[in-house]
A and B are shown apart, each in its own frame.
Chain A
Amino acid sequence: MVKTYTISIYSENNVGLLNRISAIFLKRHINIESLTTSQSEINDVFRFIIIVKLEEEGVKKLINQIEKQVDVIRAFYHTDEETIFQESALYKVKSSALFEERHIQNIIKDSHANIVTVSPEYFVIEKTGFRNETDRLYHDLEPFGLLQFVRSGRISVTKSKMEISEILKKFKSDN
């Protein structure tokens, strides 16, 4: 059964690793739904969050191929139920709309979005949440004219513990 899986990769922060990881997907003709990279909870360790829609067997094979890469410390996969995840979206709207269309203020309030900045020409709203929440705000704001819209890839943490520090400690004591 095809499901949404979150792949979490802990790796070294090396030039070219993103290319190496994405090549694994390319070789197997697998589309990446979203990809986010950032520092992890460990100082010099990088974290990738990659979202794919696949059968579980396919994800397992991907994880094996990813872990095989020399610069990858560990890779995991999780279902939506096993993770806490969010996306962020930014909406740029003409400032005149904010003052002329009182309804907009209610939309912002009801959606628990934040106004990031206001200038005479435009204002920017930020909303973090699930996809359906950022989507709803998109549809609510669209009639007033969106100057720009952008949504981040999914970021997520797992409910279960990640034992990367332990792995790195063990390597240090073994060598």
Chain B
Amino acid sequence: MKTKEQIALQEQESESIKISGAEAVIRCLLAEGVDLIYGYPGGAIMPVYDELYKFQDQLNHVLTRHEQGATHAAQGYARTSGKVGVAIATSGPGATNLVTGIADAQIDSTPMVCITGQVGSHLLGSDAFQETDIIGISTPVTKWNYQITKASEIPEIFAKAFFIARSGRPGPVLIDITKDAQFDTFDFIYKKCKGVRSYKPFHALDTHAVTKAAELINKAKKPFIVWGQGVILGQAEEQFKSFVEKSGIPAAWTILGLSALPTAHPLNVGMVGMHGNYGPNLLTNECDLLIAVGMRFDDRVTGNLETYAKQAKIIHFEIDPAEINKNVKVDLPVLGNCKESLDALIPLIEKKSHNKWMGRFDELMKVEVDQVINKDLYPKKDGLTMGEVIVSINKHTRGDAVLVTDVGQHQMVACRYTEFIHTRSNVTSGGLGTMGFALPAALGAKMGAPEREVVAVIGDGGYQMTIQELGTIFQTQAAVKIVVLNNEFLGMVRQWQQLFFDKRYASTEMVNPNFIAIAKGYYLDAKKVDKRENLDSAVADMIASEKPYFLEVCVEKEDNVFPMIPSGASVSDIRLK
């Protein structure tokens, strides 16, 4: 093992030293401030693992139980810490197992660098053992990728990879390194990447567009803000809050924007989209000005585009030029980093309140509370609801926790009802809808924010897709609180079968194992709740624990999530039942 002094000496930029490509990989990671990576070893990446062994006092490697788990853990880490997540795997199946997480990170703009081993360069194209064209496979789902065949390429490519992953609209980058490039030695010098001539991370502040935006905002009678993850990725939470408060405009979130503005903020009117709140969806088609901030008009947000906010003028604050007019034609694009744009906008807007307009949101919220929310949160029937579990979690975490969710009914319920005080507190798979995301992502989320409580709420379906990561949680002792809401169904699919396929429940019923025995098999504290009177104390015990903890809650089998905009319908056609 090398001493810190030796390494410091060798890290001086000006002084080059002869080292192997594998050691260069580790030094590049350290130079980029990486102290934690997730991965799984194998033949073609062994030289790098050998160096990981030597550098283990500086670079912590977490062995996940599947490469997919490594990517989701890296994503969870990136989402709570704001840093670049790193996942590493071997060639062939190791590399292909990363693909789901890479695709998830691409569509949800998560900064991630994936490193894969590759067969020796002389074997490329020979169908060698564990050879796969991971560059070809990952091209459509990466922001950038590159195959290194010479050790001397490593410093420049790693510097570029981290720069690309974290700058502009963040995303995943994959670096594939042939085994000979890991063994070869070369003179190592590391220079951070400051720019790539063919790549513009974001547009400079457009003062003209900002001025026009302010005019539209000042004139509007019924303005409405929809914000997305761009506010969080752009670290613009303060600016966004000031903008909302000064303009007095009601603001709703997309699922990835959640937690950028506290839940209890008086102008936070809830979620838009398929299972969003009643008011924000209906009033999208009543507002006279729609101000989109760092969101991309996903089809789950807009419903039918032909009937989406046609009456409104639309302003789009956006970092990615390709998102402008992609789905929704906008009247005024404001390209650039939303932190800079909002900073410039705030002095130009008048301080206002829109009480009468805000009253419309309140009215519709009352309708939703009466017809949906009360039944979800304070049920009178025997069976437990997912909503009341969230109420109990809120009570014991006091809005302080990071919520990690998987995909499906539990995700919608948890995101709708969890209370948040802090930003970067919601980790979920939004765009790709990756079942199996939550358990490994929760591990990463906890490591990215070790001082915070992390509660993973997962369905019984998704839980079993990456259940092996219980092993990683046990080994690392990351104090993740795992709540499985077990309805013995793939609940969201079952809901669609009930509503749109005449209750033909094709392959959605699950005969589940003894989840408690499995958790205990991994030596985790575990408890099962199937009666209302035991719920609150069980949640309290779980939150009080300082160790990883598993809680299974048996919920009503055939509950549905409402409100709901049926697929392809208009936001105006939102259903309460």
- Which chain A residues numbered 44 to 90 have a C-beta less than 8 Å away from chain B? 60-61, 64-65, 67-68, 70-73
The reply to whether B136 and A19 contact each other, CB–CB distance below 8 Å, is yes
The reply to whether A70 and B322 contact each other, CB–CB distance below 8 Å, is no
Instruction: Classify the interface of chain A: helix, strand, loop or mixed.
Output: helix
Least CB separation from A19: chain B residue:
B139
Question: Complex formed: what's the CA distance from A171 to B197 in Å?
Answer: 6
List 11 other contacts, CB 8 Å, given A11-B198, A70-B143, A175-B197: A16-B139, A16-B145, A19-B139, A20-B140, A60-B325, A65-B322, A70-B144, A70-B164, A70-B199, A171-B197, A172-B197
Is the CB of A168 closer than 8 A to any CB of chain B? yes
A-B contacts at CB below 8 angstroms, number:
53
Known contacts A60-B325, A64-B326, A175 near B195 by CB under 8 Å: yes
Least CB separation from A60: chain B residue:
B325
Question: Complex formed: what's the CA distance from A72 to B139 in Å?
Answer: 14
The reply to whether A174 and B143 contact each other, CB–CB distance below 8 Å, is no
The reply to whether A16 and B135 contact each other, CB–CB distance below 8 Å, is yes
Cβ contacts under 8 Å, B196 to chain A: 70
The reply to whether B195 and A174 contact each other, CB–CB distance below 8 Å, is yes
Known contacts A23-B140, A64-B322, A68-B322, A16 near B147 by CB under 8 Å: yes
Q: What mask results when residues 147 to 175 of chain A are scored 1 for a CB within 8 Å of chain B, else 0?
A: 00000000000000000000010011011
Is the CB of B324 closer than 8 A to any CB of chain A? yes
Q: What mask results when residues 1 to 39 of chain A are scored 1 for a CB within 8 Å of chain B, else 0?
A: 000000000011011100110010011000000000000
The reply to whether B139 and A23 contact each other, CB–CB distance below 8 Å, is yes
- Which chain B residues numbered 136 to 150 have a C-beta less than 8 Å away from chain A? 136, 139-140, 143-147
Pick the 3 closest A-B CB pairs, nearest first.
A64-B322, A171-B197, A70-B144
Question: Complex formed: what's the CA distance from A23 to B145 in Å?
Answer: 14
The reply to whether A27 and B140 contact each other, CB–CB distance below 8 Å, is yes
Is the CB of B320 closer than 8 A to any CB of chain A? yes
Tell me the A residues contacting B by CB distance below 8 Å: 11-12, 14-16, 19-20, 23, 26-27, 60-61, 64-65, 67-68, 70-73, 168, 171-172, 174-175
Cβ contacts under 8 Å, A68 to chain B: 320-322
Is the CB of B122 closer than 8 A to any CB of chain A? no
Measured between C-beta atoms, what is the minimum distance from A17 to chain B in Å? 9
Is the CB of B194 closer than 8 A to any CB of chain A? yes
Question: Complex formed: what's the CA distance from A42 to B535 in Å?
Answer: 69
Question: Complex formed: what's the CA distance from A25 to B144 in Å?
Answer: 17
Measured between C-beta atoms, what is the minimum distance from B163 to chain A in Å? 10
Question: Complex formed: what's the CA distance from A16 to B196 in Å?
Answer: 17
